[in-house]
């Protein structure tokens, strides 16, 4: 494993914009919380204090919902072209501030700057994609009888809430507002408390572009402002990205106040199944890429269970370990950094607890598993990219989502057995299959219980492809036309001629 070359590089993570005081966007204005509370933000790579945001509460949610309800009818009356025009103006304004957003995002998340640029540009691409989908919000005519007209129309819910995850804050925020706004709703975004600073910048930009009240951004603790948003009886449509445990809690809480439409994009313990005819060098590179070490493994789609056929197990493992040890971990503001710091103290402790569990249960630690050596790693939340071999299906590191840079390698010999092992967890978000036999690859892809499967590839998320999970990895599909439709209710109209 390579590390940053000197301690001075870490000083680049501090600029004149820090510490930064962010505010919430409510009714077109940047405001503090109703009770004046604050959340403090720290750079996970250095432990430095970099700013604060309001600690929202139930009162702030009430104010935001009321503002959204006032604004939404006028927004819904705009033409498709007019709403799309606002979204394109917003995209242009975000692009103009991309440098500011990038610096804040890197400091607040610990993610490497080289990859965060793609998060911003990718979010803008999806924002423009949904702006262009507005004309697809079509109803249908149904020839039920010859003498009458039977048709359907799609109408917005009104006020919708989106609760975001900490690993891709600005990307999730930009993408999260796109489809519900295009469908005619007003939106309340709740960024993750672990990395909320970029959302306040987004609020400043939106306040200058969008009509007041149509987008509201509330920072705070999930159990406070998030819970109040979930339970609000007039927020009937909710979306959440995060852990399965929190997703189930949201379902329970939402049901206590009203019947709601809730979609969930949750965690994954994703299998990467390698057949004996797969190209060894490409498989090794893909296994490392699929683990998302560039995000410190903090990605729900990480292929964290590598199932290697016994005929190529040792050779692929050797190459994977060599590639993982070559990953350059260091200052997130250095363009050469390939892996940064873990996002929060709680997440860091969780990752390290799984390293201990893997060793205790008998897995063989073949790479990483400790804090990197060097002056810049004396502070901050650092852990080396980690690989365990000789992992058994019953071990915790093979069954539970870690959301950190830990890859578990398992050996197999029988195809029915490997599919059973791959499916024998309660999560089913993504999967990868590698084989030069397309019939074998497709048959395996069909048998894997996952919502998104790569064949001879990994980590590709193309526009319009629906994304979501099986089992406890979620419900609903996003990123395509299905997401846009999901922010509308379908009304049937029966015209008696």
Residues known to be catalytic:
265, 300
d(CA 197, CA 217): 11
CB 387 within 8 A of CB 407: yes
| Residue 273: other Cβ atoms inside 10 A | 29
CB 232 within 8 A of CB 209: no
Give me 219's structure tokens: 């920072």
Which residue spans within 186-260 are E strands per DSSP? 186-190, 215-217, 237-241
Contacts (Cβ under 8 Å, ≥6 apart) of 124: 91, 94, 95, 174
What is the residue whose two structure tokens read 């159990």?
Answer: 223
Q: Calculate the dihedral angle through the C-alpha atoms of 351, 190, 172, 121, rounding to the nearest 10 degrees.
A: -120
CB 338 within 8 A of CB 349: no
* Concatenated DSSP letters of 115-126: HHHHHHHHHHHH
Q: CB-based burial of residue 2 (10 Å sphere; 0-12 exposed, 13-18 middle, 19+ buried)?
A: middle
DSSP state of 317: H
d(CA 66, CA 159): 9
Give me 169's structure tokens: 């804050």
DSSP H stretches of helix in 183-219: 197-209
d(CA 466, CA 476): 9
| Residue 293: other Cβ atoms inside 10 A | 25
């Amino acid at each position: 494993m390579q590390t940053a070359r000197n301690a001075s590089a870490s000083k680049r993570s501090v600029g004149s914009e820090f510490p930064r005081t962010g505010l919430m966007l409510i009714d077109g204005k940047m405001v503090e919380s109703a009770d004046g509370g604050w959340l403090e933000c720290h750079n996970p790579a250095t432990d430095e204090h970099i700013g604060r945001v309001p600690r929202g509460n139930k009162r702030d949610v009430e104010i935001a919902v009321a503002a959204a309800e006032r604004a939404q009818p006028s927004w819904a009356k705009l033409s498709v072209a007019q709403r799309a025009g606002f979204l394109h103006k917003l995209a242009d304004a975000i692009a103009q501030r991309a440098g500011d957003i990038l610096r804040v995002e890197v400091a607040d998340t610990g993610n490497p700057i080289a990859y965060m640029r793609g998060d911003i540009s990718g979010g803008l691409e999806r924002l423009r994609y949904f702006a262009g989908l507005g004309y697809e919000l079509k109803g249908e005519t149904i020839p039920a009888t010859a003498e009458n007209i039977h048709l359907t129309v799609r109408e917005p819910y009104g006020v919708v809430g989106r609760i975001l995850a900490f690993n891709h804050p600005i990307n999730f925020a930009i993408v999260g507002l796109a489809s519900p706004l295009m469908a005619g709703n007003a939106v309340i975004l709740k960024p993750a408390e672990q990395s909320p600073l970029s959302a306040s910048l987004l609020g400043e930009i939106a306040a200058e572009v969008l009509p007041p009240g149509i987008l509201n951004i509330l920072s705070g603790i999930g159990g406070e402002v998030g819970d109040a948003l979930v339970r609000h009886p007039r927020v009937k449509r909710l979306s959440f990205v995060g852990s399965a445990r929190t997703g189930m809690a949201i379902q329970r809480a939402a049901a206590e106040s009203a019947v709601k439409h809730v979609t969930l994009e949750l965690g994954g313990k994703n299998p990467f199944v390698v057949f004996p005819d797969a190209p060894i060098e490409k498989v090794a590179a893909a296994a490392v890429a699929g683990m998302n070490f560039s995000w410190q493994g903090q990605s729900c789609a990480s292929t964290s269970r590598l199932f290697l056929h016994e005929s190529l197990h040792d050779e692929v493992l050797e190459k994977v370990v060599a590639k993982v040890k070559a990953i350059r971990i260091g200052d997130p503001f250095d363009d050469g950094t390939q892996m940064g710091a873990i996002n929060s103290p709680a997440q860091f402790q969780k990752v390290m607890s799984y390293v201990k569990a893997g060793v205790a249960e008998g897995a063989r630690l073949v790479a990483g598993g400790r804090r990197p050596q060097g002056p810049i790693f004396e502070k901050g939340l650092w852990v080396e990219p980690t690989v365990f071999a000789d992992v058994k299906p019953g071990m915790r590191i093979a069954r539970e989502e870690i959301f950190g840079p830990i890859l578990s390698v398992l050996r197999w010999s029988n195809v029915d057995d490997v599919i059973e092992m791959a499916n024998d967890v309660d999560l089913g978000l993504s999967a990868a299959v590698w084989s030069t036999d397309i019939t074998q690859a497709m048959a395996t892809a069909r048998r894997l219980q996952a919502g998104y499967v790569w064949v001879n590839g990994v980590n590709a998320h193309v526009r319009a492809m629906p994304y979501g999970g099986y089992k406890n990895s979620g419900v609903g599909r996003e990123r395509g036309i299905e997401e846009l439709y999901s922010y509308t209710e379908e009304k049937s109209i029966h015209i008696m001629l």
